[in-house]
Structure 1
């Protein structure tokens, strides 16, 4: 009976959390001692479908009433898939495509536009520096917000944002232990615990601990495997200070050390140079990340109509990268290839804060959901760097010159800026069928140096028509404002150049429909996005005498248009699915300047077609089967579109069995990824492409006490 009871447990926690948030928004907070809580027993819960996304409107507004395309990926689905990183989570949305995983970070694009590691990701609505593999074990759900969201979040790209929502403290006691492993010998131990600290349940907590040791299938030329060692700690505490005021505190710490794999090389025909498993970096290379987040949020019910929400988060990210910088060549086995060993230490600090006033008002016959607020970001970055001279090595040779960033007497690079914005948004219910959204934001970014100061006004308009209670049609217009900061690449011709902001405009027409008594939602959207002052990073055909490998420029435009469809939820009593599909026509429009030769070309890793599906079928109350597939169409591996990566389809399957062991719920799961052992290339250019892993098997066991 495990699967059913596990569903009920998740439902109880989700309903309690949702009720607390809803009560905060429209009613007075009542101390837990005065709440009569009702336990839900033996009720099927739809784990694949979520009704709202907090990031889309800076509040819990139903998705069907939101004039924007949004995908919500709940943790139940990614737990089923035994996902270990954000890339595996986002593979559940075909509008998100993977880029390079060079230097042990994951790059993504939404609707063909690459997400910035500084402004493309949020955690609980706070801007989040994401220059590392994100810890997903702390997440309750991941929200993919399509199209420009600058009106609410300031600096953000034209394709969209990824908002990661962390797990919430629980009223009821939770104590889960999990372990998973794979056929390479990787291991991951997880603890997830929560509950009330006092009898009145006015103080609640949630904590997550993870210890992960990963072995990868690719190898260095001396036979060593790439490995990863990661420790994660997370704790969140909620306090009901009064009937009207609640305080939430959060802390997480990640220590993550990994050998470097900068990806495979492709020749001019798109074929892998050497073997699929070859790593061109030296075996002594590594990236060592230490990330700490400390945050607090307050929610205060000012009256029956108005609620104040405010929060602060401080993120400290320190990284040491000891690398060898292998230089691409088509004949490394004959002529050797160059490396340039370096050691660098990076220190990023993000301090974010926001204040929101949320009001539910009525003027005449019109209901208003009004948002008035502002947010602030203080960004600081500093780098120390030491490098050796370039040298030529043959595959299998190990060269390890002495480099140490502590040898640097002064920072190689220092950057700091302040960004703040003010916004007003009103969702007006004109009639039972018509809603109108109108909003505007003013942004300023202050930074020393040429081109450092930026200003922008970002409007957003949307109309929702609901012909029935279970369906809506919407249209929206929105703009994006994306400051580009400084080129920070020691191998770029324009290294340390301050870039101008990019500005994007989107028009979107979409529809959302619920069927099967609200159990499943079908969505579709057509979009047209145009970006001006586009930043383009190009690979040089030959390194410069100074050793530069790239050049970053800004001229011209980028135009993307296409459509998406999706389905998420319960098809029948025992069958659940989440699926999506996207068609994309992406082109550069650069008639003049250094990028003129890109006019009419398609950006790297922007497939014309992509699709995915993941499903669960409950054979009985104790046993369930999963089947999934991911399709990514043909993509280009260089900006001039002469090197092509073939499209591929990857099939995954899984099975879970649950039982009661002396009052403890136990779940055993087995998943097989890439069932047909398909050879394929994932994200990245011809100089740093990620090679798809062959067939792999993972096993997991979880006990819920």
Structure 2
């Protein structure tokens, strides 16, 4: 069966299912339940779990503290309100046919009992990253996956690679010089851009260091193009890190992770009110990590400190200020090369073999200030302002490897410089609801501005440090390395992005049908700013583009737990001549036009098993036109031609596929996170590569299943067992399709125990010690992935 027929079969089946569900719905007499939850001082309480325990229906409150349960069969119910650290409350209510039952305002009361985690599961979870209007996933006409604290703790995760393997269509592509530097990702067949596709609470951050730290509450992944909200982005998707916020009750948690290969990772998370009225709240997260590696000579250290303050001077006004400091130092790891230039040959070297120099350290330091102010304009409107300032420094001190000769002698090239980034962002959003007749409008109006400048030292370039280093008998500390102390260059590279955007989600038929319409007017300007403009060469020009980015979508909900959706979105990426200074034909880069992405997507979302298990099935097609790329003069061995490369444009690439994601609870004791994908990502037309080649870094298939089981026996209360299987098919590392990695399947296992405020968990990753590799951007370099590793965590709340 062809791919197109598979998509048609899935969509037709879903359509028939929706019709039958709609017919069943029509014969039921139903009503609506609505209400508001507030804190003790009258402020709206967000993310409070609200459920009708008689039928297992539930939702969570939005940013205004409101909740709505629609299509509830007429009858008598018990409404339950739950929130971590507060007493559970119940209210009796009567739902009448065709009417809305308004629950009197609920005020949270702090509990003195042991805290228990309350989670909203499946598609009932809310996000503001996709629409900035804080909606349930079920009502958003796009595929969005959220990895929250449940998965983080179950898998003992402390890096992005561990988390993203749970999301369909998202793949770790490789790293910049080792596991503890920073990681590259591919989504829906396309590489994510380090300067465009990563966000922190919706604000852009550079992908130049470790992102996942203990101040991250959840990782949201919005799949496909998202230019309407974020400007120029690569079309694979946007990864957003949602940070932990201050709590209204005293919370203290100390955790220690220890593991094989010298892992030591203590973390502290403390939060609570600073005054009696609880209008001033704080939270502090801090982490220290040191670790060796299964790779010889490699080690790393990292620290993170993130204090946060929230001030609620009135029930309508809220301000949150955050500061984050991160620093990482790690030995550069260039990976392995194959003795004979084939993928099979790389296995002749042990996974632990190190071909670099531990003296070469990748250092990364990042400081960021973030401000979020929100003000309620009446009951239906909110104004939200975000400001951020970030200053980042890094030293990419690395070795590039050539192809060894028959005796294993290797040419190694030194590449190093210093760099800083100065990043500033401001945004203003107005959101609210308006009723026009029978149509409800959820509106968003906004504007944003983003600016980042970066400067390099003048020493950047490839220098041969030795040609006699032997891959079979390595001897370290013999190469003559030159540590960079050169002055900064006379240019600053910059991005400047601004935009005006508007969006309306129209709801009719009691929210059964929702139509999303959005438009963004963009202005992106990037290039080099010279200290002395007379120094600018004719080939180095500043580029300004003003594309228009639309987004349309529709949601149909025949049942409160089921929705079908379809959407169309676009993206663009600016191609600046300054990105290709040093190319053999760099003069041709002055005429490069933007790269465009267009996605059509359709799917079904459902909350099954009493709304405990959320499922999303999606079919998509992405067309990427005017692709700009580069290729080396010697494609088999870039070092052989001293890394001479060419730039080109005019390519057309396409990715289409099916994705399935599921998360939640199958039973009260068994939680599951699962994913599967089938993606065909190919070159349709390209000046440098053969039409029909698969896109590099994009496996055709992949799946994952993680299950966590809480043993229900009274004598074993608190015991949990976890097990997971993670699979990725083989893929080509580059668009040349010269070498294909082997597919792999790894397994993880875990056992944990919780008693009151104490918890411990042992996780073993790559349980069968599977050997597998990733191929990065060089056709001769391979990255061996982690061997079997045990990590023990011990945590206490106090």
TM over 0.5: yes
Match of 2:144 in 1: 70
Match of 1:308 among 383, 395, 405: 383
Match of 2:329 in 1: 257
Match of 2:525 among 446, 465, 479: 446
Q: In the TM superposition, what is the alpha-carbon distance from 1:413 to its structure 2 partner?
A: 5.0
CA contact (8 A) 2:46 2:65 kept: no
Q: Per-residue CA shift, 1:231-282, capped at 9, x if unaligned?
A: 1000111101223211110000001111001222245431216322222222
Q: Does 1:37 align with 2:108?
A: yes
Match of 1:55 in 2: 129
CA contact (8 A) 1:538 1:551 kept: yes
Does the C-alpha gap of structure 1 residues 554 and 413 become closer, same or farther in structure 2, counting only changes over 3 Å? farther
Specify which structure has the bigger relative contact order, considering alpha-carbon pairs within 8 angstroms and separated by 6 or more residues: 1
Tell me how far apart the structure 2 counterparts of residues 295 and 25 of structure 1 sit (CA, whole Å). Answer: 29
Match of 2:482 among 399, 403, 412: 403
Using the size of structure 1 for normalisation, the TM-score is 0.90
Q: Which has the larger radius of gyration?
A: 2
Match of 1:276 in 2: 351
Match of 1:112 in 2: 189
Match of 1:577 in 2: 672
Q: In the TM superposition, what is the alpha-carbon distance from 1:388 to its structure 2 partner?
A: 7.7
Q: Does 1:428 align with 2:499?
A: no
Tell me how far apart the structure 2 counterparts of residues 654 and 494 of structure 1 sit (CA, whole Å). Answer: 54
Q: In the TM superposition, what is the alpha-carbon distance from 1:105 to its structure 2 partner?
A: 1.7
Match of 2:599 among 502, 506, 509: 506
Tell me how far apart the structure 1 counterparts of residues 286 and 135 of structure 2 sit (CA, whole Å). Answer: 32
Match of 1:29 in 2: none
Q: Does 1:419 align with 2:497?
A: yes
Q: In the TM superposition, what is the alpha-carbon distance from 1:227 to its structure 2 partner?
A: 0.7
Match of 1:528 in 2: 621
Q: Does 1:101 align with 2:175?
A: yes
Match of 1:21 in 2: 63
Tell me how far apart the structure 2 counterparts of residues 307 and 627 of structure 1 sit (CA, whole Å). Answer: 43
Does the C-alpha gap of structure 1 residues 193 and 427 become closer, same or farther in structure 2, counting only changes over 3 Å? same
Q: In the TM superposition, what is the alpha-carbon distance from 1:611 to its structure 2 partner?
A: 0.7
Match of 2:556 in 1: 465
Match of 1:694 in 2: 787
Q: Does 1:187 align with 2:264?
A: yes
Q: In the TM superposition, what is the alpha-carbon distance from 1:13 to its structure 2 partner?
A: 9.7
Tell me how far apart the structure 1 counterparts of residues 243 and 701 of structure 2 sit (CA, whole Å). Answer: 31
Q: In the TM superposition, what is the alpha-carbon distance from 1:48 to its structure 2 partner?
A: 5.9
Match of 1:293 in 2: 368
Q: Per-residue CA shift, 1:644-667, capped at 9, x if unaligned?
A: 11111101000101124xxxx111
Tell me how far apart the structure 2 counterparts of residues 300 and 564 of structure 1 sit (CA, whole Å). Answer: 38
Root-mean-square deviation (Å): 2.6
Tell me how far apart the structure 1 counterparts of residues 700 and 416 of structure 2 sit (CA, whole Å). Answer: 39
Match of 1:248 in 2: 320
CA contact (8 A) 1:97 1:112 kept: no
Consecutive unaligned residues of structure 1, counting only runs of 5 or more, are 1-11, 27-31, 220-224
1:405 alignment partner, SS class: coil
Tell me how far apart the structure 1 counterparts of residues 775 and 342 of structure 2 sit (CA, whole Å). Answer: 17
CA contact (8 A) 2:404 2:410 kept: no
Does the C-alpha gap of structure 1 residues 14 and 659 become closer, same or farther in structure 2, counting only changes over 3 Å? farther
Aligned length: 673
CA contact (8 A) 1:388 1:402 kept: no
Aligned positions of 1:211-250 closer than 5 A = 211-219=288-296, 225-250=297-322
Consecutive unaligned residues of structure 2, counting only runs of 5 or more, are 1-44, 51-59, 69-85, 87-104, 528-539
Tell me how far apart the structure 1 counterparts of residues 202 and 463 of structure 2 sit (CA, whole Å). Answer: 44
Q: In the TM superposition, what is the alpha-carbon distance from 1:675 to its structure 2 partner?
A: 1.0
CA contact (8 A) 1:462 1:475 kept: yes
Tell me how far apart the structure 2 counterparts of residues 461 and 355 of structure 1 sit (CA, whole Å). Answer: 22
Match of 2:443 in 1: 370
Tell me how far apart the structure 2 counterparts of residues 252 and 374 of structure 1 sit (CA, whole Å). Answer: 25
1:348 alignment partner, SS class: strand
CA contact (8 A) 1:491 1:547 kept: no
CA contact (8 A) 2:626 2:649 kept: yes
Match of 1:644 in 2: 740
Match of 1:678 in 2: 770
Match of 2:760 among 668, 671, 676: 668
Match of 1:197 in 2: 274
